[in-house]
Structure 1
Amino acid sequence: MSETMAHSYPTHLTSFHGLPVHEFPALDEEKAAGRPAPGSVAWRISCAWEEDPFDVLWRRFHDEVRTEEVTALVIGPWWPDWDEDGIGPVLDLITGDAHRLPRLRAVFLADVESEESEISWIKQGEVTRVLRAWPGLEELGVRGAEDLVVEPLRHEALRTLRIESGGLPRDPVRALAAGEFPALRHIELWLGTSWYGGDCRPEEIRALLDGLGHSPDLRHLGLRNSDIQDDICAAVASAPLVARLEELDLSMGVLGDEGGEALLGGQPLTHLDALDLSHHFMSEPMTERLRETFAPHGVALSLDPAPYGGRMRERYVAVGE
């Protein structure tokens, strides 16, 4: 099972795009070891615990690092005390300097833990600007969905897309459904709950699955952390693209027996390498049926139930606020 499938609550990235994450400016204990080669790490720029605003750190980054060799960039908190404007000014800066980062292949926006900001408070923006600025970008990660805007577009190089949220609005999902990503291999969406803006309906999920059917190399599909997880299972069970997947991640949501029944009654899923249904609210008889179905075929099946699921009346997603 991949590292991503094992991941749940948002934490600071320690690796990104296959590279270790390195803080800029360096922590005191790292300075003595010397600065790494520009292309050997994913550079993380954060205003947390810094006196300088983001634009000053960004200029220093270009002054002190050979950014023409940088391949991966992680944006941490862009606010020293609190965020008033959202990520828009940061996107202005980094996309305006796209010519200074010609080898950039991966960007993560808002590597933020709950101590810095709850995921539902992170103010995003029109993140597809990053894809337009770097036609060769292979990986884009986004955390938070307030004010998130995704525009439909065709991007030839993107292989991995990940959006983590406590509530993903339907408009970005519609835009992704209308986009074209011929190189896409891995997509992961945390759809969240209506309490925090996650208003996707089954029809948006079905449209997304239809759109992703035009990504011939797609091998990992994650539709996670949703309060319509049973409906998602029903949509997935009949989606043609599932036949070519290697990993299917439907974890972190409010999955119940209805969703489990949909998976068992739909198209065969025994070709999968991994199926993640953890953080669920299914009964023991249903989970036993799932084990009996998938275990003989060597599918790595994750069935850890939601914490406190048996003692709480209402189901809940793993990540909301």
Structure 2
Amino acid sequence: MTTAPDPGETFVREDLYLYGFSWETEEHFAGRRVVTPGQAVPDPTAVAWALADELSPGDGKESGLEQELRQLLDTVDGGLIESITVTGYGARNAPAFLAANADRLPRLRSVFLGFVSAEAWEISWVQQGDITPLLEAFPRLERLDVRGSEGLTLRPVRHERLRVLRFECGGLPAEVVRAVGVGDLPALEHLELWLGVPDYGGDSSVADLAPILSGERLPALRRLGLCDSPAQDEIAAAVAAAPVVARLEELSLAMGALTDIGAEALLGGQPLTHLRRLDLHHHFLGEPMMAMIAASLPDVDVDLSERQTEEWRYVAVSE
């Protein structure tokens, strides 16, 4: 099976990554094949272990994480486990539970909370909780992906090793956006926020992005995605003057309601010719503006696919 590019290395289109796998096919996370406890694997460090939290909405069952982790640690040395995904309807119990077992997982480097396919689940169904304990308990964690935002919270933290932080959802709470902005993440190279819409909890403003756009607390940032927003024009205008842009290699303003107004502001701001990639897919640009962008950035890999022509402007992912 050919897998999509790993989003820890670049931005991946939502139709390839969010909708492009199912439980009938081989799945990957952080460059590792995802397997379930009980499967025999020759090298436990080379796979991502899938644990299930809440398996279906409203079934009243308690989390199965404790049983699944016990089964895993009965058969695999916890010191050899580097990657974990949490599947099911909810992942709200996972941060606290994994944190409580941090001493048994000393090599954990990557975690995906809410590793479910949209072929089976609406992204708005996936339950999350406070993810702060996970970051506090695993100082060597290098990557954290979070899918779904119902119940999601985050307090500002300092983390010395985190390199990739991704939030996939139809509405990212402003509290989470602000916590990322004022946290200390000196090693973070890839930050991706699907901001979403108010109906699904996406209540952040462009002002909430200011600490991120300043780059002061993100000295290692090289890939920034501010995606899936109905306010994509305003975000583009803010990005046009943002200090962090000068050191980026990749920038994504994809999946939102970007129009000619935002694109004109973006082109009229600081130079973008140093970028390796500019992702604007799913947009509402006119063809002349698309041609202008391509002509202005001839050496940049610009994704202008998925041009929307409807008068009603909408984001790519909301529910």
| TM-score normalised by L of structure 1 | 0.88
Counterpart in 1 of 2:182? Answer: 178
CA distance in 1, matches of 2:83, 2:247: 29
Query: 1:25, CA displacement in angstroms?
Result: 4.1
Contact 2:99 2:133 in 1 (8 A): yes
Find out whether 1:303 has 2:314 as its counterpart.
Answer: no
Q: What do the CA deviations read for 1:268-301 (whole angstroms, capped 9, x no partner)?
A: 0000000000100000111010010001xx1001
- Greater CA drift, 91-100 or 286-295: 91-100
State which of 63, 68, 71 in structure 1 corresponds to 2:74: 63
Q: State the 4+ residue runs in structure 1 displaced beyond 6 angstroms.
A: none
Name the amino acid aligned to 2:81. V
Secondary structure of the corresponding residue to residue 99 of structure 1: helix
Contact 2:183 2:217 in 1 (8 A): no
Find out whether 1:14 has 2:27 as its counterpart.
Answer: yes
Contact 1:24 1:44 in 2 (8 A): yes
CA distance in 2, matches of 1:199, 1:208: 17
Query: 1:68, CA displacement in angstroms?
Result: 1.2
State which of 127, 134, 147 in structure 1 corresponds to 2:131: 127
Contact 1:74 1:108 in 2 (8 A): yes
CA distance in 2, matches of 1:93, 1:22: 20
Find out whether 1:152 has 2:150 as its counterpart.
Answer: no
Find out whether 1:278 has 2:289 as its counterpart.
Answer: no
Counterpart in 1 of 2:205? Answer: 201
CA distance in 1, matches of 2:292, 2:37: 50
Where in structure 2 are there 5+ consecutive unaligned residues?
none
Contact 1:194 1:227 in 2 (8 A): no
Secondary structure of the corresponding residue to residue 223 of structure 1: strand
- Correspondences of 1:105-116 after superposition (within 5 Å): 105-116=109-120
State which of 46, 65, 70 in structure 1 corresponds to 2:52: 46
What's the RMSD between the two structures over aligned residues? 2.1
Query: 1:53, CA displacement in angstroms?
Result: 3.0
Counterpart in 2 of 1:92? Answer: 96
Contact 1:38 1:67 in 2 (8 A): no
Find out whether 1:313 has 2:298 as its counterpart.
Answer: no
State which of 222, 226, 231 in structure 2 corresponds to 1:223: 226
CA distance in 1, matches of 2:195, 2:211: 15
Aligned length: 300
Contact 1:191 1:226 in 2 (8 A): yes
Query: 1:3, CA displacement in angstroms?
Result: 4.2
Counterpart in 1 of 2:41? Answer: 35
CA distance in 2, matches of 1:7, 1:300: 14
- Greater CA drift, 118-127 or 108-117: 108-117
| TM-score normalised by L of structure 2 | 0.88
Query: 1:233, CA displacement in angstroms?
Result: 0.6
Residue identity over aligned pairs, in percent, reads: 44
Contact 2:48 2:84 in 1 (8 A): yes
CA distance in 2, matches of 1:304, 1:68: 44
